[in-house]
């Protein structure tokens, strides 16, 4: 944004960054018109329609189905985040140590899934998890089960589908963080007498936490708002907030209630994020900044 100029005798001193603020204008305007204003309208609608008051929020917290969906949303996002971290950390560790062509190859493997839409990949998992699906065929053929399992709709399918989609968003910040760790620190630890395990636990792991923190925040926050995958794989008992909001808005046409649900999800997400930030700042006092 242009600042109010207060020209001194010779004008403001020149800096390299003068004028760059103008570049913020187009995205700033776009976000204000197409994001901030609609968001404000959602919040207002939840409070003012059909009658001014907190009636909509009363329903959100009063009806068991809504509360269950909300807690299910947080739980699912948490499970998906932990699974992503557990899978991504060793993977990122290996990739971060690669160089040149191998690094490029690994990065392509990580990024390729992003080229296929979440809808198509969720349909793919439906084929795997359905009663006559690939997974049941396999389990029967191997003799692990003796009758077909009902995995769809179910939380296992939702978790697997979501982890599949979210994994790159965990791997990428982890790799970025790990590649930022000075190799000389590991060498120093080595020559100072630290065997590989101690080197990892005392040097590499703590120094990789900023990357972990970024990945966890990204995956958890995105998972809270997931729609397609839980809608296709989750069914009524494993509904997540976004699915419920869509249903209230498009099927029940109860926009005020949908708005109240959306606002609640937004507040929960914001609060969780702030708590998380504070925790991270406390546990990473030296390298967090």
Partner 1 sequence: MLDPKPLESLADRRPEKRAVSGAALRLAALAKDYGGVTALAPTDLEVRPGEFFSLIGPSGSGKSTLLGMVAGFVPPSAGRILIDGADVVALPPYRRNIGMVFQNYALFPHMSVAENIAFPLRMRKMPRSRIEARVKEMLETVRLAGFAERSPAQLSGGQQQRVALARAAAYDPALLLMDEPLGALDKNLREEMQYEIKRFHSKIGATILYVTHDQDEAATMSDRIAILNGGRIVQVGRPRELYEAPNSPFVASFLGEANLFEVAAVSNAPPMRLRVVTREGLTLAAHQHARIEAGVMICVRPEAIQIGSSGGAAANSVEGRVIDVVYTAGMLRYRIEVMGGRAVIVRRPLQRQVPIFEVGSPVYLSWDLADTILVPNTP
> What DSSP string runs through 3-58?
PPP---TT-SPP-TTTTGGGGGHHHHHHHIIIIIHHHHHHHHHHHHSSSSSSHHHH
Identify the residue whose tokens are 């004008």. 11
Within residues 210-269, the interface with partner 1 by CB under 8 A covers none
Instruction: State the Cα torsion 110-77-230-146 to the nearest 10°.
Output: 80
Among residues 113, 182, 278, 279, which is the contact residue for partner 1, using CB under 8 A?
A: 182
Any idea how long the chain is? 289
Secondary structure of residue 280 in the 3-state scheme:
helix
Q: Which is nearer to partner 1, 162 or 212 (CB)?
A: 212
Q: Which is nearer to partner 1, 251 or 286 (CB)?
A: 286
Q: Which is nearer to partner 1, 137 or 202 (CB)?
A: 202
The minimum distance between CB 97 and partner 1, in angstroms, equals: 15
Q: Rounded to 5 degrees, what are φ and ψ at 145?
A: -120, 160
Identify the residue whose tokens are 């769809």. 152
The minimum distance between CB 127 and partner 1, in angstroms, equals: 46
Distance CA 135, CA 143 (A): 12
Within residues 55-94, the interface with partner 1 by CB under 8 A covers none
Among residues 78, 206, 225, 235, which is the contact residue for partner 1, using CB under 8 A?
A: 206
Q: Which contiguous run of DSSP H or E holds residue 206?
A: helix 205-224
Q: Which is nearer to partner 1, 213 or 229 (CB)?
A: 213
Q: Which is nearer to partner 1, 92 or 189 (CB)?
A: 189
The minimum distance between CB 256 and partner 1, in angstroms, equals: 49
Is 100 a binder of partner 1 (CB under 8 A)? Answer: no
- For residue 240, give both structure tokens: 């997540």
The minimum distance between CB 206 and partner 1, in angstroms, equals: 5
> What DSSP string runs through 62-89?
HSHHHHHHHHHHHHHHHHHHHHHHHHHH
| Contact code string over 183-202 relative to partner 1, x by CB under 8 A | -xx-xxxxxxxxx--xx--x
Q: Which is nearer to partner 1, 267 or 287 (CB)?
A: 287
Identify the residue whose tokens are 């949303």. 73
The minimum distance between CB 202 and partner 1, in angstroms, equals: 8
Point out which residues bind partner 1 (CB under 8 A): 182, 184-185, 187-195, 198-199, 202-203, 206-207, 284, 286-287
């Amino acid at each position: 944004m242009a600042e109010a100029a207060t020209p001194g005798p010779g004008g403001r001193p020149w800096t390299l960054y003068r004028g760059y603020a103008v570049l913020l204008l187009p995205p700033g305007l776009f976000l204000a018109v197409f994001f901030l204003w609609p968001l404000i309208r959602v919040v207002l609608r939840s409070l003012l329609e059909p009658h001014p008051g907190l009636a909509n929020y009363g329903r959100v917290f009063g009806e068991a189905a809504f509360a269950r969906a909300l807690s299910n949303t947080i739980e699912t996002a948490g499970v998906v985040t932990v699974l992503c971290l557990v899978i991504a950390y060793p993977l990122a560790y290996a990739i971060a140590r690669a160089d040149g062509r191998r690094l490029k190859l690994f990065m392509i493997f990580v990024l390729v899934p992003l080229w296929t839409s979440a809808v198509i990949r969720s349909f793919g998992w439906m084929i795997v998890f359905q009663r006559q699906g690939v997974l049941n065929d396999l389990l029967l053929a191997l003799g692990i089960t003796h009758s077909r399992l009902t995995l769809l709709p179910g939380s296992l399918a939702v978790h697997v589908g979501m982890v599949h989609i979210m994994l790159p968003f965990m791997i990428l910040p982890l790799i970025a963080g790990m590649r930022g760790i000075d190799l000389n620190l590991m060498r120093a630890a080595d020559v100072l007498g630290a065997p590989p395990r101690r080197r990892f636990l005392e040097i590499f792991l703590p120094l990789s936490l900023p990357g972990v923190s970024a990945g966890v925040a990204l995956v958890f926050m995105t998972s809270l708002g997931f729609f397609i995958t839980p809608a296709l794989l989750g069914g009524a008992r494993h509904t997540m907030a976004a699915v419920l909001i869509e249903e209230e808005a498009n099927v029940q046409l109860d926009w005020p209630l949908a708005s109240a649900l959306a606002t609640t999800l937004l507040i929960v997400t914001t609060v969780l994020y702030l708590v998380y930030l504070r925790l991270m700042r406390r546990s990473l006092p030296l390298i967090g900044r």
